[in-house]
Amino acid sequence: MKVPKFTMYARSTGMEIAPYEKRQEGKPREGRISLRFFRMEGGSPQLRFVVEPWEGFELSRIIESVSQEGGKQSLTHRYEGSGGEIVTKLSVERFERNGKEGQALGIQRGDDAINVPVALGQFLYAGEFLRRLSVTEAWVEQYEDEREGNSAD
């Protein structure tokens, strides 16, 4: 089985974009998009940012906007964990340092942060990849008995 996946690598970090399946007991499975950030060093924590399909589309729009206009934009997720509220921030930016321009995707959760600077082509391709996944991952599992009850016969 072929699975769409796009991985970008920087000097010591990387990011993978791939389909993801949300599973909750007693509820139908749903399509999502996973953005997994990692460091190349062994034993380092990975940070995952899972978005709904519409958020994947919004993220593709943010990447396009930042690539043209510059600056920094972000998406923030908040949820209650066992130790209280957990806030995860995904950032998209275009920057200039030492006379050179670049772009990066980054994630921050608590004290952990991973930044992945990438070439413009990879940056724009990530946006397009997210745009495509936003459509293919817009699904909800439907059980046989649900389909029979919804038929027009």
Structure token digits, residue 120? 């413009």
pLDDT surpasses 90 at 81: no
What pLDDT shows up at residue 144? 72
pLDDT tens for each residue of 124-135: 999 999 999 999
Distance CA 56, CA 51 (A): 6
pLDDT tens for each residue of 103-151: 999 999 999 999 999 999 999 999 999 999 999 999 999 877 655 555 5
Give the CA count within 13 Å in the CB-facing half-sphere of 69: 10
Q: What CATH number has the domain spanning 6-138?
A: 2.30.31.10
From 41, 31, 34, select the one nearest 15 (Cα to Cα): 34
From 1, 18, 14, 8, select the one nearest 133 (Cα to Cα): 18
Mean pLDDT for 33-58 is 94
Would you tell me how many other CB atoms lie within 10 Å of the CB of residue 109? Answer: 18
- Beta 71-81 vs 112-118: how paired, if at all? unpaired
From 8, 20, 32, select the one nearest 115 (Cα to Cα): 8
pLDDT surpasses 70 at 153: no
Mean pLDDT for 85-100 is 93
pLDDT surpasses 60 at 93: yes
Are 108 and 89 spatial neighbours (Cβ–Cβ below 8 Å)? yes
Are 78 and 85 spatial neighbours (Cβ–Cβ below 8 Å)? yes
What pLDDT shows up at residue 43? 80
Mean pLDDT for 93-107 is 93
Distance CA 31, CA 134 (A): 9
What pLDDT shows up at residue 97? 85
Structure token digits, residue 44? 């380092």
Encode 50-73: b = buried (16+ Cβ within 10 Å), e = exposed: bbbbebbbbbbebbbebeeeeeeb
